[in-house]
Chain A
């Protein structure tokens, strides 16, 4: 098998002044092109794990680190965040906290200007990212602060996409958005999966949206990773997930209940359509 693009080996992390380890010896391998969903309850260490993938941990936060994280051949302890940013794009939960400019156009090209790319390439990448994230041309002159929540997060994603990183980490990109905004961002993630062959790592609570997109699901619980598996296998044991404070989508809970009652024995459904065909199948047998 090919060398993983991300390798986390025995990662332990403790923030300065804290007595407890946030991450308690985490091992994880992610391969090029994989779409990975990271789930887990609040305060389980998901964000710390995400920030360790682009070097914000340990470079920008004081604390104690053990183990190592190698991203695209770069040990995060030996490279700056700016160097790692050549390979890893990071989308923060709060879109406003990541804006660096006062117009959408400046925001999207900021990282490209930093890299010193030729003007023609900046222009081409900007239009590509805007098109992928469905941001209209007349938004270019608008301040990103004045857009709706979903639009703001789309601009943030476009700014990262324009960098064309090999890896994109999205830390709860819908957590601060209203339902419409959440749907807009999920649509962008779907487009990214369909058209952009990067490694995408999404920390997300909306499991029903992420599960159908993911190649691999990772459960983070109290600073450990008790389960890594493809989505169908990951959600097969609903009781295990519930014990770890993860609430699977309703369609999976339904399938689990049908299995418990001896009515169904197949793979767990990922979508409402799949659940519908399972139910129709059961009804048809009767």
Chain B
């Protein structure tokens, strides 16, 4: 029997994924709390451990790991951007160990080490975001925000913004196919021509976006939606009422909170999480 799937912001997820046993608010707070870890912790070993933990979470939540493959070029590009940025603009100190000299540019170990530290931090952060987008639906975000007492207008706008990204990608592909059918293929053109002809994509894309916003506005009015600013007025939270916080939610939230507090306290009162504790600094 085929597995029933549920559409997420970044793909599909089996309906029996354990992640769905958590309240959308817990999943939303997961993004907010766990995203703070790589921002606080610079120690590469801990961020590598975090990345491995995220991969395990992908597996446990039954997220298709192929979703990460879609971003492999982004990971590679990110590495080169960071490496180049730190190599050429990382500064120079006479204490630095020079690995290679490329004309006036000195490639130093210390700068490369910084590049690696930042890159590993970003990998952890990106994996958290991919996991979030792979397991959340627009509905979950609206419910999560409403559970956090965020005004409906803001919650709905957040959901609409996320959806509009997807719709714009669909529109862009449609325009690209239409342009190709009329013998305009940007991929086959040199870079300067690509830039010049990009307007051919942008103009219809913007026109479509304006038309879509007009249609959404008419549809909202026709369904009796009244813009009441940040006050939700008499609106009923029917969808929100279908979700209940469970002991598991409280346990996960407590675990994440305690871990975050622990990291903050350790980084303030000890040097265990300092970069000097890293193996990279012993090389």
Q: Say whether A114 contacts B226, CB under 8 Å.
A: yes
With a CB–CB cut-off of 8 A, which chain B residues contact A115?
Answer: 224, 234, 236
With a CB–CB cut-off of 8 A, which chain B residues contact A141?
Answer: 6, 15
Interface string of A103-127 (1 = CB under 8 A from B): 1011001111111111100110000
**Is A97 positioned at the interface, with any CB of B under 8 Å from its CB?**
yes
Given the interface pairs A86-B224, A101-B139, A146-B7, the reply to whether A56 lies near B218 with Cβ below 8 Å is yes
Quote the shortest CB–CB distance from A153 to chain B (angstroms). 14
Q: Say whether B222 contacts A113, CB under 8 Å.
A: no
Quote the shortest CB–CB distance from A129 to chain B (angstroms). 13
Dominant SS among interface residues on chain B: helix
The closest CB in chain B to the CB of A121 belongs to B236
Quote the shortest CB–CB distance from A100 to chain B (angstroms). 6
Of B139, B216, B223, B234, which one neighbours A163 at CB under 8 angstroms? B223
Given the interface pairs A102-B138, A102-B139, A141-B6, the reply to whether A112 lies near B236 with Cβ below 8 Å is yes
Q: Could you tell me the distance between the alpha carbons of A21 and B192 in the complex, rounded to whole angstroms?
A: 47
Interface stretch of the complex, out of B50-58, B76-84, B237-245 = B237-245
Q: Say whether B236 contacts A60, CB under 8 Å.
A: no
The closest CB in chain A to the CB of B226 belongs to A82
Q: Could you tell me the distance between the alpha carbons of A92 and B217 in the complex, rounded to whole angstroms?
A: 13
Q: Could you tell me the distance between the alpha carbons of A208 and B7 in the complex, rounded to whole angstroms?
A: 39
Q: How many residues of B contact A (CB 8 A)?
A: 29
Scoring B137, B222, B226, B241 by chain A CB atoms within 10 A of each residue's CB, the highest score goes to B222
Interface string of B69-101 (1 = CB under 8 A from A): 000000000000000000000000000000000
Quote the shortest CB–CB distance from A95 to chain B (angstroms). 11
With a CB–CB cut-off of 8 A, which chain B residues contact A80?
Answer: 221, 226
Of B15, B222, B233, B238, which one neighbours A119 at CB under 8 angstroms? B238
Q: Say whether A92 contacts B219, CB under 8 Å.
A: yes
**Is A99 positioned at the interface, with any CB of B under 8 Å from its CB?**
yes
Given the interface pairs A100-B216, A113-B238, the reply to whether A60 lies near B221 with Cβ below 8 Å is yes
Quote the shortest CB–CB distance from B242 to chain A (angstroms). 9
The closest CB in chain A to the CB of B224 belongs to A85
Q: Could you tell me the distance between the alpha carbons of A103 and B241 in the complex, rounded to whole angstroms?
A: 16
Of B7, B222, B225, B236, which one neighbours A143 at CB under 8 angstroms? B7
Q: Say whether B6 contacts A81, CB under 8 Å.
A: no
Q: Say whether A54 contacts B222, CB under 8 Å.
A: yes
Q: Could you tell me the distance between the alpha carbons of A146 and B5 in the complex, rounded to whole angstroms?
A: 12
Quote the shortest CB–CB distance from B130 to chain A (angstroms). 19
**Is A247 positioned at the interface, with any CB of B under 8 Å from its CB?**
no
**Is A13 positioned at the interface, with any CB of B under 8 Å from its CB?**
no
Q: Could you tell me the distance between the alpha carbons of A100 and B223 in the complex, rounded to whole angstroms?
A: 9
A–B Cβ pairs within 8 angstroms, 17 of them: A56-B221, A81-B218, A92-B218, A92-B219, A92-B222, A98-B215, A98-B218, A102-B7, A102-B139, A102-B163, A111-B224, A113-B235, A113-B236, A115-B234, A116-B233, A116-B234, A118-B236
Q: Residues of A with Cβ closer than 8 Å to B?
A: 54, 56, 59-60, 80-82, 85-86, 89-90, 92, 94, 97-103, 105-106, 109-119, 122-123, 141-143, 146, 159, 163
Instruction: Give me 9 other A-B pairs in contact (C-beta within 8 A), A97-B215, A117-B236, A122-B236 excluded.
Output: A82-B226, A85-B221, A97-B216, A98-B219, A102-B7, A114-B223, A114-B224, A115-B234, A141-B15
